[in-house]
């Protein structure tokens, strides 16, 4: 989500240091409607792992007007069990609960609701791919000694 156009980082004295609040407009390729996503993430650094808890509220726009979704999730990043034996690696565990909601007074077809859910999933997949590319670049830069 960090590299999307229409992204607004919410900052201020009332936002704790370990918390990120973002509002972003998302236009997933291949869909008629767009999405406005409000995300709050909080990171906890522990001795042997990092835990990120998130909450995302998505509003549909255009063809998806009146549709919303609520997502809650967490991710844990920790050393791989192979690290105990002298190996290297990182383990990422992630769980997300996704609930689509339709508050529209106009009747929405089941097809539109499925497209709305598919658009949110596609936006999440695009974000995940972007994160993977950034992590691979960090790994490559580390291997090459690039700062």
Question: Any idea where the domains of the chain sit in the sequence?
Answer: 7-144
| pLDDT at site 128 | 80
pLDDT band of residue 1 (cuts 50, 70, 90) is very low
Q: What is the mean pLDDT of residues 56-84?
A: 89
Short-list 71, 76, 102, 104, CA closest to 90: 76
> pLDDT tens-digit profile of 118-143?
888 888 888 788 878 877 777 766 66
Q: Which helix (H) or strand (E) holds 55?
A: strand 50-61
> pLDDT tens-digit profile of 13-67?
888 899 999 999 988 878 888 899 999 999 999 998 999 999 999 999 888 888 9
Give the pair of three-digit tokens for residue 28: 């997933």
User: What is the C-alpha to C-alpha distance for residues 38 and 58, in angstroms, rounded to an integer?
Assistant: 6
Q: Which residue do the tokens 């650094």 mark?
A: 45
Strands 19-26 and 67-79: unpaired
Short-list 72, 78, 118, CA closest to 95: 72
């Amino acid at each position: 989500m960090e590299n999307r156009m229409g992204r607004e980082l919410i900052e201020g004295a009332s936002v704790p240091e370990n918390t990120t609040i973002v509002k972003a407009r998302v236009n997933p390729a291949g869909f008629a409607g767009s999405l406005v996503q409000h995300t709050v993430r909080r990171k906890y650094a522990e001795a042997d792992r990092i835990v990120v808890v998130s909450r995302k509220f998505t509003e549909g726009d255009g063809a998806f007007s009146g549709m919303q979704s609520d997502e809650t999730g967490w991710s844990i990043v920790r050393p791989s069990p192979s690290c105990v034996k002298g190996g290297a690696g990182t383990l990422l565990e992630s769980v997300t609960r996704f609930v689509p909601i339709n508050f529209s007074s106009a009747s929405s077809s089941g097809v539109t609701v499925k497209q709305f859910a598919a658009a949110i999933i596609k936006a999440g997949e695009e974000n995940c791919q972007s994160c993977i590319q950034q992590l691979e670049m960090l790994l490559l830069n580390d291997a090459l000694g690039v700062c």
